[in-house]
A and B are shown apart, each in its own frame.
Chain A
Amino acid sequence: MKKILLKSMKMLGKYLVYGLIIQALVSNLLLASTTSAQSVYKVKISLKRKQGKLSQFFQEIEQQSEYRFTYSKDRINLQKEVNINKPYQNLGELLSHITNQGDIIIKQINYNLIVSKAKPTLINTRDERGIITGRVTDSETGDILPGATVKVSGTNYGAASNTEGEYSLRVNSGEVSIEVSYIGFQTVTETISIKEGETIVKDFTLKSNTQELDAVMVVGILQGQAKALNQQKTADNIKNIVAAEQIGRFPDPNVAEALQRVPAISVERDQGEGRYVLVRGLAPQFTNININGAQIPSPEAGVRFIALDAIPADQLASIEVSKALTPDMDGDAIGGSVNLITRTAKTRNASFSGNLVGGYNNLMDKPNAQGSLQYGQRFGKSEQLGILLNSSYYFTDRGSDNWERDGSELEFRDYELTRTRLGLSGTIDYHLSENSEIYVRGIYNRFTDREWRRRYVFVPNADNSPFEDNEIERSMKDRFESQTISSVSLGGKHAFPKLAFDYEVSYSDAQQDTPFDNEVNFIGKPDQLSTDFSDSKWPVMTSVFEDEEALVNGSTSYTPQNAYLNNNNYEFDELETGNTLAKDRNISGKFNINLPYTLANNEAALKFGGKVRLKDKSLSVTQNTFEWEGADDLLLSQFEGGLVDQHFLDDHYQIAAHADMGKVLRFFNANRSGFALDTESKIEDENSESYEAEEDVYAAYIMSKIQFIKLMLLGGVRYEHTNVNYKSNSVIYDEDGDFDEVLAEEGGTSYDFILPQVHLKYNLNNTTNLRAAATFSYARPNFEDIVPQNVIELREREGTIGNPKLEPVSAFNLDLMGEKYFGTIGIISGGLFYKRLDNFIYSRTNYQTIDDVTNMRITQSVNGGGADLVGIEVAYQQNMTFLPGKLKGLGLYLNYTYTASNAELIREENKEEINLPGQSKHVGNISISYDLGKFNTRISANYRGSYLQEIGSEPDEDIYLSERLQLDWTMGYAINNKFRVFAEFLNLTNAPFEAYMGNEDMVIQREFYSWWSRIGLKFDL
């Protein structure tokens, strides 16, 4: 820990020095003048001179005005050459240009202009200022425009509108010319007269300047692109924004799938649907997920990452992906930080929008449905009160056909699923004044997953051991799982001429409830059984039942080769029933204070704040295994029923009906005395898996942002302290292999991080940014790794144990990015990133001595050495309006990310270098759209290269996910500006989920989902 502290402090010092050097190099040190009623900004002046010595400019100004300069010749270099190339409206702006080049500051006292040498470190808080605040909207649709640049004309000083389209700008009192620009819209300039300390509400409405685009594209779609790009352009750090309208352009019903379109993001899928996000080649635990800036607890037991398929995409106003952290953000995000932003009410007019969707899943031959409705309205004389309510519901019957391999074992899995997503969210905000707002936000998401899994497991006696039989297992699992994520936040934002502050308290709760998880297994013993994996795509299974009785089932006859389909050949093995409940609760509070100041006539802001987050996480498990000890044998044929897939894996294999869980459980309930409970496995499972943990995090930060003429410098440091306490159990089996005892474990750990962050943003011009960032971040260990949920089997000399000494992964990140935005709403960007990870965590098997028993083979998560990750990220998005005729309706959306990594670990006592788990070499999207009037269509391809998913105990046991390319097609037609119909077709090429072990020839899993579709109506009333 000391090492980390020292290292962090060293780096902090280094970056502060760098910061100061950069400031000294780039700043023209001018302190702003104090103005009064006779402000120099009100005096019109025009000099013929554009170039000359400082003394010549002073002289000419004195000739044309009543103002007189006062200075010391010893201290001021009057011979300094000055060029005035920029336009100016008044004396104030002229003086500003002169001081920028003259290394001087000018202070106005009545008609005297006091000239003194600039002092670089002087900070001057702006007392004599007013605030202009308001909202930027689209003049045609009234929609808010987030990310608009609002600045004082002729300067680079300004602000960006937030996700609500709201901006707040402190300006000198007097006449101020404000310029509002937005990619894809005409720039608006207005002069505003403002008094000292006054707050003026000024809304701006911008008109689209893309008439050509309007002719070929639907307005809403353009807005989506524009909103995203404008927010991205004006952001202080490197981030990607996905606006709601843009999400709607792709067939992405949940948040994970929406995120897969963002550069450098790939997703892990479950049953064909995106679930976890991997940012820049780092596994899901390295990415922080927030709702409106508050971290979401994970409903899943043991981990921190969030299954984002639980959250419907249409709940959100936008998604922000920050790839470089600023000090005001939580520091536990190495890959990136994802912020899901919910909606707020915009206008006095009630708005209703939503959709009604129906769909079809080809594999299951079943429908799906979706509906959503959103209501928003502002109330009050000046629209002080805003209410927004949003709800959505998604229902789908899905499935998959799958085969898996484990050595010589072959497994068929036939999944049948019913999934639902319910999302409810609401925001009530109240504007106490133009600059003060309080709000309460709530969100509730419930994802449910009913799963029926039917399995054949072919276990050949591959070695022809006389001690083993050929076995075919037939199991049926019926389980329901719900994941709920709910969060309520209460907060406020207040802005004053001298400071702004905001605060928020929030309560978030996540649960994964599995009220029932039942599985029954039957076993058959064929006389011959073999598997052949020489065709790695479609392995072959051959079985023979020789006994004549095995070939008959009532009136149905089987051949010895297909008698594996005869359910009379399978006897009851065991029934497992159980339930689990995982809970994760966060209570957090935070505040931020923002103090504006000027540094050498450059607008700046000092920001500091703190945060407390108290987390409780727990898992309770009930697990029962019953064996049959009744009088008669139980055969699978007695219980068969339910769905039978007649075209399993596209007719490559034939399967029979499995057990109907209802029949099994009715028999179980009626014959309870014949079922024996396996008490040892109950004690082991329930005690080793259950745990309780508390994690308290205390954080504070300080940062400053300085806007020079073209350069924005943001730097600061964040400190985070974490306390973890836990209670769990160790289950011990003695040297005879018998269950011995359960030992209660209790303990804790704590750690600190100091995280310096520096960001640079250089505006080459209005549409081009160069960005650089050097940041520190970290990732906490998963609870399942740190909590000692131990199972020790002394006789077997093996065990799995937690590692309370596990340290968090720390990281240093370097980012470079260039962005060029197009007026026709597009972007080309490219960047480099490098990450150095220390204390990389992986699962290691080694030999230890426990309870005086030597040579125990123990598996536990440990810290590895360092890991390096480097990548290139490019993106191009363009509406091809420059093409002739109808071709101008074409649009391109491309991005590609290359990453390479190298991680050090010890395996089997040998030092090794591997790729980081989750890191794909190539990730990208290609999407081609065509818009013609009210019609639009888009074909999208999402590619994710292969990556290491699980580190084995030796290289041959490493598990990789194969590359995957998914092709989706969507089209829509705008009936009018209120109604739009659309159709989406996903996974057109039936791309499988594929995994291999060790090398690509050793395929161990292929899972197919076929294609599915959604057709519906969207409305916006």
Chain B
Amino acid sequence: MKKSIIYLFLLGLATLSACDDSEPDVEPNDDNFPFRLVLDAEEGAALPDEEDYGLEVKFADYIGELPHQQVNLTYAFTDTEGSFVDNVSISKVTYKVEDGDCEYERELPFVESTIILIVDEDLGTVPEEFEIEFALPGADDTEGGFTFEITELTSQADVLLNQAATFEYEVLENDVAGAWVLDLNSEDEFEAFKSVLGAINEDLTNLSFADITGAVSLEFEFEEMKIEVELQNPEIEEVCEEGEIEQEETHLEIEGEYEAEEGELEIGGDHIITDDGVEEELEYLITASYTINGEELEITFYQIIDEDQYEEGDELFTSESGITFTFIKD
């Protein structure tokens, strides 16, 4: 009797012990971290007359040291349209290395369908990132686009090619695209300019008319825009490239992303504010409208808000009738 109870109990215990459910339904393959090579963008565009365009390819954030073995990338141009049919190719593949304070550009070999990511002698590894430069038709009437795809990656190293390895290029047909300039000829014009864009740039607010030359440039590229206010006394920075030291001027810049459609323009980006001595980065949003008359681009600014100040009456800048600036095609 007693023995039977023990046997029954042990049997029950063994059966129940199976119930602790200690195994996942599927074991994740997460104990190794292969390098992943990714394209920096999925799409891009440039003005019709651009003669080349650079696509950055890089290793995603990784742990440890980059591969010491060569990586071969097979690529293809597909879906070529318009001017790009049989008229697009890779002109060069380059990467940069730093030697001391100087930066040098080096080329990677490529053949008709393969880019070879070689081990750099100085780095001892393959480069962390490189740029593929496409040779474009470069004519004013260029139209259409193409798709560039890395189709295969082979290497003895543990490297994967990101699933999204396709880049789509098209001619930038946006009506505001291109470079524009504005001359701020008077202090009033400058104050008006400051009253708008000074809301998202403290340095601009702190400038006086005497600090600037009056020249303002505006550039709309693919999804991104930049305003540069030329300073009388720009910061000078020494830059060393290919062994040669050059002096570069740094003027005041405001950058953002934009959407321009049917006369409405929205610009968004980040700006830094100082709150009680603490710097904070906030998103801003500019609401404006535009009209294009020949070589003139007229932009009217209505409102600027940021993450902290967006409610009615609390905006960084607001004007019902708007403040208008007229830019000239550069």
* CA gap between A279 and B112 in the complex, in Å: 78
Contact of A665 among B9, B28, B61, B279 (CB under 8 A): B28
A660's nearest neighbour on chain B, judged by CB, is: B25
Contacts of B38 in A (CB 8 A): 629, 676
Q: Is B307 an interface residue (CB 8 A)?
A: yes
| Residues A680 and B61 in contact in the complex (CB < 8 Å), given A373-B6, A448-B20, A673-B161 | yes
Per-residue CB proximity of B272-285 to A under 8 Å, as 1/0? 00001111010101
Contact of B166 among A465, A480, A631 (CB under 8 A): A631
A661 and B26 contact, CB distance less than 8 A? yes
Q: Is B30 an interface residue (CB 8 A)?
A: yes
* CA gap between A369 and B33 in the complex, in Å: 42
User: Could you tell me how many residues of chain B have their Cβ less than 8 Å away from some Cβ of chain A?
Assistant: 47
Q: Is A855 an interface residue (CB 8 A)?
A: yes
B61's nearest neighbour on chain A, judged by CB, is: A679
| Residues A395 and B24 in contact in the complex (CB < 8 Å), given A629-B38, A629-B163 | no
B62 and A395 contact, CB distance less than 8 A? no
B2 and A350 contact, CB distance less than 8 A? yes
**B11-19, B83-91, B205-213 - the one binding chain A:** B11-19
User: Could you tell me how many residues of chain A have their Cβ less than 8 Å away from some Cβ of chain B?
Assistant: 57
Q: Is B60 an interface residue (CB 8 A)?
A: yes
A352 and B21 contact, CB distance less than 8 A? no
* CA gap between A671 and B34 in the complex, in Å: 12
* CA gap between A467 and B308 in the complex, in Å: 10
A672 and B9 contact, CB distance less than 8 A? no
Contact of B163 among A395, A631, A665, A669 (CB under 8 A): A631
* CB of A741 to closest CB in B, whole Å: 15
Contacts of A478 in B (CB 8 A): 24-25
* CA gap between A563 and B187 in the complex, in Å: 56
B16 and A679 contact, CB distance less than 8 A? no
A650-680 interface (Cβ within 8 A of B): 660-662, 665-666, 668-669, 671-674, 676-680
Contacts of A682 in B (CB 8 A): 63
* CB of B195 to closest CB in A, whole Å: 21
A354 and B307 contact, CB distance less than 8 A? no
Per-residue CB proximity of A495-533 to B under 8 Å, as 1/0? 000000000000000000001101000000000000000
Per-residue CB proximity of B36-71 to A under 8 Å, as 1/0? 101000000000000000000000111100000000
A370's nearest neighbour on chain B, judged by CB, is: B16
A48-70 interface (Cβ within 8 A of B): none
Contact of A673 among B5, B25, B160 (CB under 8 A): B160
Q: Is B176 an interface residue (CB 8 A)?
A: no
Q: Is B186 an interface residue (CB 8 A)?
A: no
| Residues A465 and B307 in contact in the complex (CB < 8 Å), given A668-B28, A669-B29, A674-B163 | yes
Contacts of A467 in B (CB 8 A): 283, 285, 306-307, 310
| Residues A371 and B25 in contact in the complex (CB < 8 Å), given A467-B283, A854-B277 | no
Q: Is A187 an interface residue (CB 8 A)?
A: no
A393 and B61 contact, CB distance less than 8 A? no
Q: Is B139 an interface residue (CB 8 A)?
A: no
B161-176 interface (Cβ within 8 A of A): 161-164, 166
- B23, B26, B160, B307, most chain A CB atoms within 10 A: B26
Q: Is B22 an interface residue (CB 8 A)?
A: yes
| Residues A352 and B163 in contact in the complex (CB < 8 Å), given A661-B26, A662-B26, A676-B36 | no
* CA gap between A626 and B30 in the complex, in Å: 10
* CA gap between A669 and B30 in the complex, in Å: 8
* CA gap between A680 and B279 in the complex, in Å: 22
* CB of B192 to closest CB in A, whole Å: 25
B28 and A466 contact, CB distance less than 8 A? no
Per-residue CB proximity of A357-393 to B under 8 Å, as 1/0? 0000000000001010101000000000000000101
Per-residue CB proximity of A449-466 to B under 8 Å, as 1/0? 010000000000001011
Contact of B26 among A629, A630, A666, A679 (CB under 8 A): A666
Q: Is B231 an interface residue (CB 8 A)?
A: no
Q: Is A246 an interface residue (CB 8 A)?
A: no
Q: Is A161 an interface residue (CB 8 A)?
A: no
A676's nearest neighbour on chain B, judged by CB, is: B60
Q: Is B27 an interface residue (CB 8 A)?
A: yes
* CB of A453 to closest CB in B, whole Å: 14
Contact of B30 among A371, A482, A577 (CB under 8 A): A577
A420 and B12 contact, CB distance less than 8 A? no
* CB of B128 to closest CB in A, whole Å: 13
Contacts of A944 in B (CB 8 A): none
Per-residue CB proximity of A846-890 to B under 8 Å, as 1/0? 000000001100000000000000000000000000000000000
- Give 18 A-B contacts (CB < 8 Å), ordered by A residue: A352-B2, A352-B5, A356-B12, A371-B16, A393-B17, A420-B17, A422-B17, A466-B310, A467-B283, A467-B285, A515-B22, A518-B24, A518-B28, A629-B38, A661-B24, A669-B28, A676-B162, A677-B60
6 more A-B residue pairs beyond the given contacts A624-B30, A626-B30, A629-B164, with a C-beta to C-beta distance below 8 A? A373-B9, A662-B25, A665-B26, A673-B161, A674-B163, A680-B61
Interface residues of chain A, those whose CB is within 8 Å of chain B, are 350, 352, 354, 356, 369, 371, 373, 375, 391, 393, 395, 418, 420, 422, 448, 450, 463, 465-467, 478, 480, 482, 515-516, 518, 577, 624, 626, 629-631, 660-662, 665-666, 668-669, 671-674, 676-680, 682-683, 737, 795, 797, 854-855, 1019, 1021
Q: Which 6 A-B pairs have the closest CB atoms?
A: A662-B25, A674-B163, A673-B160, A630-B163, A665-B26, A679-B61
